[in-house]
A and B are shown apart, each in its own frame.
Chain A
């Protein structure tokens, strides 16, 4: 089992719809959770982080965390073609005496007009 799992997609949604991106993780001890957006040929860009169970909203983005289910999600409201990118979920993992960030393989999102 991979430490961080995401559906590779592509997830195709129409413009204006809600895009829902999901991520599960294997380490119950993980404390911090991040969503990065990566446009083709570019570097990952941090868009959201969440540390506590529940929802965290920032503009059109909402991160949701359920530690009991080991599940984190990202909702994008009013999706725009400019949101088309790969979204990487990242989770802290305590290993070798230190926390490090483990990335999922990413979900490709395509928003069509």
Chain B
């Protein structure tokens, strides 16, 4: 059945290193979201793409985070340089497009920055 996939599932890295997370949305979904989840902040929207164009990345720290969709089957979230406070679970979700906001989440990438 159709699912959002994310790689890697787990990542442990040292402060200052670059981290790249990848997401493959469900085929045919034209809207992709990146979220971060922590115990303290809950689920926070970082970035939002429709038809590969970034619509909203106001939730993302611009100095170190970047998000792209090089093609319709791949979304990436990059952190450079990483910091311990970036430790969280990062989820990608996709949706079939406006007006539907029925988002389907991937399994997440658990990031630990030491």
Q: Which residues of A line the B interface, CB within 8 A? A: 32, 34, 36, 42-46, 49, 88, 90, 92, 95-96, 98-106
Q: Which residues of A contact B106 (CB under 8 A)?
A: 43
**Cα–Cα, bound, A102→B103 (Å):** 12
The answer to whether B42 and A43 have CB atoms under 8 Å apart is: no
B71 CB, nearest partner CB in chain A, Å: 22
The answer to whether A49 and B102 have CB atoms under 8 Å apart is: yes
Q: Which residues of B line the A interface, CB within 8 A? A: 33, 42-43, 45, 48, 55-56, 58, 91, 98-99, 101-108
The answer to whether A34 and B91 have CB atoms under 8 Å apart is: no
Q: Which residues of A contact B99 (CB under 8 A)?
A: 32
Q: Is the interface of A mostly helix, strand, loop or mixed?
A: strand
**Cα–Cα, bound, A100→B95 (Å):** 12
**Cα–Cα, bound, A44→B91 (Å):** 9
The answer to whether A99 and B101 have CB atoms under 8 Å apart is: yes
Further contacts, 20 of them, CB under 8 A, given A34-B103, A88-B43: A34-B101, A43-B106, A43-B107, A43-B108, A44-B43, A44-B105, A46-B103, A46-B104, A49-B101, A90-B101, A96-B56, A96-B58, A98-B55, A99-B98, A100-B56, A101-B101, A101-B103, A102-B45, A104-B42, A105-B42
The answer to whether B43 and A45 have CB atoms under 8 Å apart is: no
B99 CB, nearest partner CB in chain A, Å: 8
The answer to whether B101 and A98 have CB atoms under 8 Å apart is: no
**Cα–Cα, bound, A42→B3 (Å):** 14
